[in-house]
Amino acid sequence: MKKHLWTYFLNVMFSFGLTTAFLTVIIILVGDTIKGETGMTLLGSEGIPTAFLLQFLIADMIVMALRKLFLSDLCIRNMKPSPRVILFLVSSLLTMTCFILVCGWFPTCGLLVFIPCSVCAIILNAMRLFRSEAANNKALADALTKYKSDHAS
């Protein structure tokens, strides 16, 4: 249980840190141009408001919990991987959409704003999935090698 909580915490911090760094660069580059249009751009190029960062951390914690729920065997054991991934992506998208609408992260008047956000979310989720898949494959390969060496005699 302790290992699962630590892994969950590391995944939340990895995702939060990477996305916050990406958003900080965007805010520094174009923050003064779009200053005050959304909750995220209230300070312009001076940075991202603390309230937004807290909201984003909570959203990230929810998405990582959904990831743990759908992409591990802790709760759902008899479901094929494809439906799990689809359920994870749909629930993550719904979570982020709710936060965007309720917290006013982006202007809701135009759909063009959602395209960069969606692309960023897709890229980050793909990176997370590939990273976890590579770690799982390595662990399975190591276990198989150990099993073969133990039972070779």
Instruction: Give the model confidence (pLDDT) of 4-63 as tens digits.
Output: 788 888 888 888 888 888 878 877 777 677 666 666 666 666 777 788 889 888 988 998
Average pLDDT over residues 88-102: 85
- Distance from CA of residue 12 to its chain's centroid? 7
Q: pTM of the full predicted structure?
A: 0.63
Who's near 129: CB < 8 A, 6+ residues apart?
71, 85
Please state, as a whole number, how many other Cβ atoms lie within 10 Å of the Cβ of residue 99: 18
Instruction: Give the model confidence (pLDDT) of 22-38 as tens digits.
Output: 878 877 777 677 666 66
Pairwise pLDDT comparison (140 vs 40), residue with the higher score: 140
The pLDDT > 70 percentage for the chain reads 78
**Listed range (58-62, 63-67, 85-89, 141-145) with the worst mean pLDDT:** 85-89
